[in-house]
A and B are shown apart, each in its own frame.
Chain A
Amino acid sequence: MATRYLEIRQGVLSKNDQLAAGLRERFARAGLFVVNLVSSPGTGKTALLERLLAEMRAMGLHVAAVVGDLQTDNDARRLARSGAPVRQITTDGMCHLEADMLAGKLEGWDLDALDFLFIENVGNLVCPTWYDLGEDIRLVLLSVTEGEDKPLKYPVMFNSADVAVITKTDLTAACECNLDAMRANIRAVRPGMLIFETSAKTGAGLSELLAFLLAQRRAKYPTA
């Protein structure tokens, strides 16, 4: 028996990364802009998406959503009321979505006919961090009810995201949330991060977020 050293240099999650890269190419060919929403449970991903899907459809855009949860299809049913095609991934206890789970849910959808795909990840600020889903933008949501220091507690997730959305701003005063401190903490772990402040209840801030997403899609697909 002999011992040998074999150089590998490979990411531990290279299998997921390769699948995600394949999805990203597929999305790009279809002219589809993909947004991955991550947050704690109860931050308001579904409530925000309900508003975004409805408003985008009213503008004549073709949107769809895939929702991940450990159990139940409650969120998919809520989102489906917008009229958009929605599919649920029930992970049966798994705490995040992986690229192969998403790929499996896209079967039968005509991606060329879609403008935006929203992925509502499992509510969790830890595990979804590592799993690329082929998205164009990762939105991390944070509600005013969660405490200003959440970004400092979960710096890895906040650092991995592209854009932050503060939700439930209608409750800012009731929760005595200091928005300045919250913004400062987000930017302490991700300098220069773009931050939107929204309330799905009152609609505040939604038009700015919507305009941003549309501009991002136009920048990626100028001729679309």
Chain B
Amino acid sequence: MHELSIAASLVESVEQAARRAGAQRVARVFLRLGALSGVAKDALLFGYDVATAGTLLEGSRLVIEEVAVAVHCETCRRDVKLSSIQDFRCPVCGQPCAQIAAGRELEITGIEIEVADDASLQAESA
């Protein structure tokens, strides 16, 4: 299950950012997950609970925004959502489309952290 190693990388990146911001705890982690990232949501959530144990992220929630695969259709001259990742053709005109516009995301967009009140004031004035 590769999702566990992905979760471990996720925890490492988040913990670094959270420490830099003076966080005492991470409450939520927001992730964009593309359908073409090849990462299974449920397995990632399971791996997340394991990987966060004993870290600043322990007990936090992973909020996943799923992103559908979109390709750029040269014929229709716009980005179109694929109906299946086994069929890279424009659902409108049937043209094969290789240019991926969205769907590969495996990206942390942000985190919600808990900081001591004075640290929060400092951050706001900074």
Interface 9-residue window, one of A64-72, A182-190, A210-218: A182-190
Assuming the A-B contacts A130-B6, A192-B98, are A2 and B86 also in contact, with contact meaning beta carbons closer than 8 angstroms in the complex? no
Residue of B nearest to A129 (CB): B38
Residues of A within 8 A of B115 (CB): 1-4
CB distance from B65 to the nearest CB of A (A): 13
| Chain A interface, DSSP helix/strand/loop, else mixed | mixed
Residues of B within 8 A of A11 (CB): 106-108
* Of B85, B89, B98, the contact of A156 (CB 8 Å cutoff): B85
Q: How large is the interface on B (under 10, 10 to 19, 20 to 34, 35 or more residues)?
A: 35 or more
Residues of A within 8 A of B13 (CB): 8, 10, 12, 14-15
A168 within 8 A of B: no
A130 lies within 8 A of B96 (CB) = no
Interface size on A, residues (CB 8 A): 35
A4 lies within 8 A of B2 (CB) = no
B2 lies within 8 A of A15 (CB) = no
Interface string of B1-30 (1 = CB under 8 A from A): 010011001101110011001011001000
A191 within 8 A of B: yes
B120 lies within 8 A of A2 (CB) = yes
Report the Cα distance A189→B103, complex, angstroms.
13
A159 within 8 A of B: yes
A interface residue numbers (CB < 8 A to B) = 1-16, 94-96, 126-127, 129-130, 152, 155-157, 159, 187-193
B interface residue numbers (CB < 8 A to A) = 2, 5-6, 9-10, 12-14, 17-18, 21, 23-24, 27, 31, 36-38, 85-89, 96-98, 100, 106-117, 119-120, 123
